[in-house]
Amino acid sequence: MITTLTLNAAIDQVYEVGSLMVGQTNRVSQKSQQGGGKGVNVARVIVALGGDVIIGGFVGGLNGSRITELLQEENLQTEFIQIQEENRICLTVINQQKKEMTELLETGPTIYEYEWNKMLNWVEAQAEHASYFVLSGSLPKGIPKTAYAEIIHRLKQKGIRVALDTSGDALKHGIKAIPYIIKPNEDEMTQLIGKPVLAQKDLVQAGIKLQELGIEHVCFSLGEQGALFVNSLGVYKVNAPRINVVNTVGSGDAFLGGLIYKLSQGADPTEAYKWAVACGSANAENKEIAKVQRVTVESLLAEIQITKIKEK
* pLDDT tens digits, 233-253: 999 999 999 998 888 889 999
In this structure, is residue 77 part of a structural domain?
yes
In this structure, is residue 24 part of a structural domain?
no
219, amino acid identity = C
Residue 224 pLDDT greater than 90, yes or no: no
In this structure, is residue 257 part of a structural domain?
yes
Domain around 303: 2-19+29-311
Q: What is the distance between the alpha carbons of residues 165 and 153, in angstroms, rounded to a whole number?
A: 16
How much is the pLDDT for 267?
97
Q: What is the distance between the alpha carbons of residues 71 and 152, in angstroms, rounded to a whole number?
A: 26
How much is the pLDDT for 196?
80
Dump the DSSP string for 69-80. Answer: HHHHHTT--EEE
User: Can you count the helices (H) and strands (E) in the chain?
Assistant: 10, 14
Task: Give the total number of structural domains in the chain.
Answer: 1
In this structure, is residue 225 part of a structural domain?
yes
Residue 312 pLDDT greater than 80, yes or no: no
In this structure, is residue 46 part of a structural domain?
yes
* pLDDT tens digits, 124-163: 999 999 999 999 999 999 999 999 999 999 999 999 999 9
* pLDDT tens digits, 271-306: 999 999 999 999 999 888 899 999 999 999 999 999
pLDDT band at 120 (very low <50, low <70, confident <90, very high): very high
How much is the pLDDT for 100?
86
How much is the pLDDT for 288?
84
239: domain CATH number is: 3.40.1190.20
Q: Are 1 and 134 in contact (CB under 8 A)?
A: no
Full-model pTM: 0.93
Radius of gyration of the chain (CA): 19
How much is the pLDDT for 230?
97
* pLDDT tens digits, 3-57: 999 999 999 998 999 999 889 999 999 999 999 999 999 999 999 999 999 999 9
The phi and psi torsions of 104 (rounded to 5 degrees) equal -120, 110
* pLDDT tens digits, 49-101: 999 999 999 999 999 999 999 999 999 999 999 999 999 999 989 898 888 88
Q: What is the distance between the alpha carbons of residues 58 and 261, in angstroms, rounded to a whole number?
A: 24
pLDDT band at 310 (very low <50, low <70, confident <90, very high): confident
